[in-house]
């Protein structure tokens, strides 16, 4: 069964600190992996999208990594800011006879001043 | 360029009623996807439309239906509402489909069923 699991479920860190969020997937055949940021009560906003051949991708203070062999991805946030408080969602797409997007449940990140 | 717009933003209905939600994609985008998000749950895919045709469908009962118009605007209908239908309904648009293309989400419609 295609699944995406994220950890931790929630995380609290102090402003200015770095953090890393994890995403493990059992999706086949893999097509691409995306990270989204979702503020409370808002729609998700795309941070990165990576294909099989990409190991790392950055978007400002956000850096995503992908290990297609171990089926793991991480999202690293550098020098966190209060505005980084949000849920971060990992999404993996698969294509077989049809395509599907498998959404993780997200990691809720809280940045404290 | 204007973003994805959804109307209404908030809606309160009672059990048994039906509801129609609307989504206007980014200009030039031809694909619209709908998702349901409940507290603590990941986004659940409802369906995707491209050029007025349903291209993909999630595992939701037939009470959930949708359509897309020639201007790419889309509507989602839920009939015979149940308490469990209370959720944030999100619409996402993309140029030619959610597969391989970036999706842009609207602010969502918060539906409360009493």
Which pLDDT belongs to residue A20? Answer: 98
Single out the residue of B79, B78, B75, B108 nearest to residue B91, CA to CA. B108
Question: What pairing do the DSSP bridges indicate for beta strands B64-68 and B74-78?
Answer: antiparallel
Residues B40 and A106: beta-carbon distance below 8 Å:
no
* Stretch B5-28: mean pLDDT: 97
Distance CA A14, CA A35 (A): 22
Which pLDDT belongs to residue B100? Answer: 66
pLDDT band at B1 (very low <50, low <70, confident <90, very high): low
Strand, helix or coil at A83?
Answer: helix
Q: Do B102 and A46 touch (CB under 8 A)?
A: yes
Residues B86 and B109: beta-carbon distance below 8 Å:
no
Strand, helix or coil at B31?
Answer: strand
Q: Do B108 and A41 touch (CB under 8 A)?
A: yes
Which pLDDT belongs to residue A5? Answer: 95
Best interface-test mutation with B: which of A30, A45, A57, A101 has the largest number of B CBs within 10 A?
Answer: A101
Residues B66 and B75: beta-carbon distance below 8 Å:
yes
Q: What is the CA A58 to chain-centroid distance, rounded? A: 12
The owner of tokens 């839920």 is B78
- Comparing B19-23, B48-52, B96-100, the range with the smallest average pLDDT is B96-100
Best interface-test mutation with A: which of B43, B87, B92 has the largest number of A CBs within 10 A?
Answer: B43
Q: What is the CA A51 to chain-centroid distance, rounded? A: 14
Q: Do B108 and A99 touch (CB under 8 A)?
A: no
Which pLDDT belongs to residue A97? Answer: 65
pLDDT digits (tens, 9 = 90+) for B32-84: 999 999 987 778 999 999 999 998 888 899 999 999 999 999 999 999 999 99
Q: What is the mean pLDDT of chain B?
A: 93
* Stretch B9-30: mean pLDDT: 96
pLDDT digits (tens, 9 = 90+) for A4-48: 999 999 999 999 999 999 999 998 888 899 999 999 888 999 999
For residue B110, the chain A residue with the least C-alpha distance is: A41
Single out the residue of B87, B55, B89 nearest to residue B75, CA to CA. B89
pLDDT band at A1 (very low <50, low <70, confident <90, very high): confident
Alpha-carbon torsion (A64, A65, A66, A72), positive or negative: negative
Q: Do A105 and B103 touch (CB under 8 A)?
A: no
pLDDT digits (tens, 9 = 90+) for A43-76: 999 999 998 889 999 999 999 999 999 999 999 9
Single out the residue of A1, A37, A16 nearest to residue A113, CA to CA. A16
Which pLDDT belongs to residue B108? Answer: 95
Which pLDDT belongs to residue A57? Answer: 95
Which pLDDT belongs to residue B91? Answer: 97
* Stretch A72-91: mean pLDDT: 97
| B43-52: long-range pairs with CB below 8 Å, 24+ | B43/A44, B43/A89, B43/A103, B43/B90, B44/A103, B45/A100, B45/A101, B45/A103, B46/B76, B48/B97, B48/B98, B49/B74, B50/B96, B50/B97
pLDDT band at A99 (very low <50, low <70, confident <90, very high): confident
């Amino acid at each position: 069964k295609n699944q995406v699991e994220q950890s931790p479920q929630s995380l609290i860190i102090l402003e200015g600190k770095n953090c890393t969020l994890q995403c493990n997937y059992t999706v086949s055949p893999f097509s691409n992996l995306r990270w989204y940021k979702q503020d409370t009560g808002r729609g998700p906003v795309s941070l990165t999208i990576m294909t099989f051949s990409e190991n790392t991708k950055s978007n400002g203070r956000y850096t995503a990594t992908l290990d297609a062999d171990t089926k793991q991805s991480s999202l690293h946030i550098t020098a966190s800011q209060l505005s980084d408080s949000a849920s971060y969602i990992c999404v993996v797409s698969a294509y077989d006879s049809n395509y599907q997007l498998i959404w993780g449940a997200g990691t809720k990140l809280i940045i404290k001043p | 360029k204007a973003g994805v717009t959804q109307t209404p933003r908030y809606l309160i209905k009672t059990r048994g009623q039906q509801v129609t939600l609307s989504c206007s994609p980014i200009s030039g985008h031809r694909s619209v996807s709908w998702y349901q998000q409940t507290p603590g749950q990941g986004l659940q895919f409802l369906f995707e439309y491209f050029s007025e045709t349903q291209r993909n469908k999630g595992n939701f009962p037939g009470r959930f239906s949708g359509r897309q118009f020639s201007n790419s605007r889309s509507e989602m209908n839920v009939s015979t509402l149940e308490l469990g239908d209370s959720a944030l309904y999100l619409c996402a648009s993309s140029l030619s489909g959610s597969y391989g293309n970036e999706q842009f989400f609207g602010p969502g419609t918060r539906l409360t069923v009493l």
